[in-house]
Amino acid sequence: MRRVGNSPKVPRMANPQRPARRAPVLAASLIALAAAAGLSFLGARAAADFVETRSAEDLRAALADYDWVQVRTDGLQVQLEGIAPDEVQRFRARARAETVVDSGRVIDKMQVAASAELATPAFEIELLRNDQSISIIGLVPASLDRVALVERLKRQTGAPQVSDLMEGADYPVPDGWEDAFAFGLKAAQLAKRAKVSIAAGEVSIRAIADSPREKRDLETALQRAKPASVTLTADITAPRPVIAPFTLRFVKDATGTRFDACAADTETARDRILEAGRDAGVPDQPQCTLGLGAPSPRWADAAVPAIRAIKALGAGSVTISDTDVALFAPADVEAAQFDEAVGRLEAALPPAFTLAARHEKPGEAEAGPAEFSALVDPGGVSLRGRITDERMRDAVESLARARFGQVDSALRSDVSVPEGWTLRAIAALEALDGLARGEAKVTRDLVRISGVSGSQTASDMAAARLAQRLGAGARYELAIRYDRRMDPLLGLPSGIECVDRLNAAMQQSEIGFEPNKSVIAGDPGPTLERLAETMKLCADFRIEIGGHTDSQGSEGFNAELSRARAQAVLAAMTAAGIDTANMTAKGYGESQPIADNDTDAGREANRRIEFLLLADDPVVTEAPAPAELVKGVTDSPEVVAARVTAAALHAATAAIGPALGVPTDPEAALFAATEPVRLLVSGIDPSRVASRPAQEAALPELPALRAATLPAASLLPEAAELVEPAEAATRAVQEALVGAAIEAATMPARAALHVNRPLPRPEPASAP
C-alpha cells in the first residue's frame, strides 16, 4: 500500500558513478573562465597602452613651442614637468595641454625659474619748459615732496602750468642725485625755453636763447651755478645774425695761415669751409660765424675752392664779399702756378660769382700797401691796413671818431704808400657815413663800399661823396642794401619806441581785472584799438607782456595771478586780430614793485601790465636779398657841382613858388616837399639840422648846394607882392600841398617823422 503525503523518507542508495562524470565539466569551465579573463586583461592592457601613447604624441605636438616642457604618461594620467621661464609661460603650457586631453587627466608638476633680484632703478627726469608751461617726466625717489616741487617751480619761473608726470620708487637715493637735482631746477629757472635732463651727477641742457648775447649770459650763469660734483652738457642756440656784406677772407703769408673773416649760411657749409681751412694749414680750431644774408645757397661751393686755390699757390689771400671773389698772389708765386690756380678757381666757382685775380709784380710790394679797410657797425668803426704816417693816422682816426664814435684802430704807418692814399681813405670813411652797417675797402685801383642803409638814395650819396673827394676818374663799386626798417621817411618805430607806445596806450586806458582774478573787467575795446594801431608797425619785434601784482596774498598766488592776467591780455589781443606771433606772456608777481605797497596808491600802481622789449633787432623770417652791385667812375667836381646846383635850384623854386603865387608844376612841388626832408633825416645830428640848411647839413662838402641858401626871390620872376625869404620859408605850405606836409615845413624833421624818438609817457591816472 502506497503512502501519500508526509510518508517517512526512505534512504536511497547513492550512485557511485555520478561524481566521476561532473569533474571534467568543472575543469573545463574553470579553464574557459581563466582564458576569458586573460583575454580581457590583455585587451584592456592593449587599449590603455594605445590611449597612453596617443595622448603623449598629441601633447608633444601641441607643446612643441614649449621646448622646456617634459610630457610623461601614466595610464590615462598626463604629467607635465619642466622649469618654466615665468609663471605666465607655465600657465600657457598647461592651458595648451588641456586643449588636447581632459583637464582632469593633467597633473601639473612644472616649476617656475627663480626671478633674478631686481636692480635699483635709475632715477632720471626731464624738465620741458616753454613760455607757457613746464612738464616734469621721469622716475624720482619716493621721498621727494612732489607737491612742494611743483609749487617751487611755479614760484621761481612764473610758469602758468607745471605738469607732474613723475613716478616714485622707494629705493635708496644714489650718490650725486641731490646736487644734480638742485642744479637742474636752477637751470630750468635760468633757461626760458629748454629741455633739462637730470641724472645722478649729470645734467644735460638743450635751450634756445633770444640773442647771441643772451646765449653767452646763459652759458656764464650755468657755469657759475654748476656744482663741482655735477657734469654739465649744454647745447644752447641763438638766432643767427644778419651779415652784410656776407664775407670770407682767407690769408696765407709769412705770419701764418688764418681766416681774417669767415661767414657761413649753414652748419654743413661751415664744416666744409673749416675743413678746407684746416687742410690748407689753419692751426687750432678756427671760428666761422653762422648767419643770414648769404648771396647764394652755394656759398660753400665758392668758398672751398677759393681756399684750395690759396693752398695751391702757397701764399696770398682771397676775399669773398657777397658774390665778388678777389684773389691776390704775391710776386714770389710763379706765373704758371698763378695761372693754373686762377683757371681752376674760375671753373669751380658757381654761377653768379665773379673772380678778380691779381698777381703782384716784382717791386710792386714796395710801391704801396695792399689795402685800407673800415668796418662800421652800431658799436663803432674798426680800421685796418696802412696809412702814410703817424700824422695822417691821427687825422683819419679823428675823422672816424667824429663820424662813428668808438674807433678800434690797427693802422700801420708806411711812407711808401702811393700819393693820395690818405685822401682815398678819408673818402671811403665819408662814404660810409649814413650806413647802419657797412664796410669800405680801398686798394690801389678801387674803392668798394658795401653795407646796409635806411635810405634808398644811399648809393647816390656815397657816389657823390667819393666824387667830391677824389675828383674824376676814380673807380668805385657800391653794394648797399636798402632796409625799410631803418628808413626814417617810413616812420617805422624802433623796438624801444614800440614798447613805449604800447605802455603809453595801457596807461591812457588801462585794462582792468576783477579782484583776485584774471578775468578782464569792463570793455577793453578802446585799449585794444590803440594797441592794434601800434602793433601794425611793431609785430616783428619780440615783446613780452609782463604781469605784476602788489604784495597782498602769498608769493605763489601772486606769481600765478600775474601770469594769468598777462596771458589774458595776450589772448585778448590775439582775439582782436592783432599779430602776436612774436609776443609772450610772463608773470612777475610782487617781485618788481614800482611803488610802496604800504599805501593804496602804491598797491594800485604795482598792479599793472607792462610791455618789455626782448631783443633790439626785429625777428628775421627770411634772408634779405643781396644788395645790387653798382660799378662806376667818379665824375669831375664841375660835373657834380652842376648837377647838384640844378637839383637845388629846382627844389628851391618848386618849394617857394607856390608861396609867392608863381605857377609851379605839382610834381615838382611834391618833390620839393619831400626831398629836403629826406636829406634832413639822413642820419646827421638833429642840432645840425636845426642850425644849418638841410642840404649843407647832409652833404657839407658839396659847395654847389649853396644854391639852396640863396635868397628865394632872386631865383624867381618878379611878383606883385614881395615876400621876405624867411617868411616864404616858413609860410604854411598847405596852400599848395595837402595833408601833413605843413608839419614837415614847420616842425623839426625828426619830430614829424618819429625817427627813433620815444613817445612821452602820460601821467599815470590817479587811483580811485
DSSP type of residue 352: T
* CB-based contact 329:316 (threshold 8 Å): yes
User: Residue 601 pLDDT > 50, yes or no?
Assistant: yes
| Cβ count within 10 A of residue 353 | 23
The domain made up of 124-237 has a fold known as hypothetical protein tt1634 (3.40.1520)
CATH node for 56-116 = 3.30.1340.30
Q: What pLDDT is recorded for position 657?
A: 54
The secondary structure element, H or E, covering residue 633 is strand 630-633
Span of 242-246, 468-472, 761-765 with lowest mean pLDDT: 761-765
At position 488, the amino acid (one-letter code) is: P
User: What is the C-alpha separation between 527 and 272, in angstroms, rounded?
Assistant: 53
Task: State mean pLDDT over 450-473.
Answer: 85
Closest CA to 450 of 328, 327, 324, 298: 324
The domain made up of 247-359 has a fold known as hypothetical protein tt1634 (3.40.1520)
471: region left, alpha or beta (phi > 0 left; psi from -120 to 50 alpha): left
Q: What pLDDT is recorded for position 100?
A: 79
* HEC profile of 287-341: CCEECECCCCCCHHHHHHHHHHHHHHHCCEEEEEECCEEEEEECCCCCHHHHHHH
Q: Which residues contact 270 (CB under 8 A, 6 or more apart)?
A: 264, 288, 290
The domains of the chain are located at 56-116, 124-237, 247-359, 372-483, 490-618
DSSP type of residue 589: E
* CB-based contact 242:293 (threshold 8 Å): yes
Topology match between the domains 124-237 and 247-359: yes
Closest CA to 545 of 494, 615, 613: 613
294: region left, alpha or beta (phi > 0 left; psi from -120 to 50 alpha): beta
The domain made up of 490-618 has a fold known as 60s Ribosomal Protein L30; Chain: A; (3.30.1330)
The secondary structure element, H or E, covering residue 469 is helix 458-470
Please state the length of the chain.
Answer: 768
For 457-531, list the strands marked E by DSSP. 475-482, 512-513, 520-521
| Cβ count within 10 A of residue 629 | 16
State pLDDT tens for residues 654-698. 555 555 555 555 555 555 555 444 444 444 343 333 333 433 333
Closest CA to 756 of 506, 507, 389, 497: 497
* Residue found under cell 655735477: 230
State pLDDT tens for residues 6-65. 444 444 444 444 555 566 666 666 676 666 666 565 555 555 565 567 777 777 888 888
Q: Model's pTM, two decimal places? A: 0.42
Q: What pLDDT is recorded for position 723?
A: 47
The CATH architecture annotation of domain 372-483 reads 3-Layer(aba) Sandwich (3.40)
Task: State mean pLDDT over 267-274.
Answer: 93
Strand partners, 358: 328
Per cent of the chain over pLDDT 70 is: 73
* CB-based contact 302:349 (threshold 8 Å): yes
Q: What pLDDT is recorded for position 469?
A: 85
What is the maximum alpha-carbon separation in the chain? Answer: 207
What's the grid cell of residue 294?
648769404
User: Residue 725 pLDDT > 80, yes or no?
Assistant: no
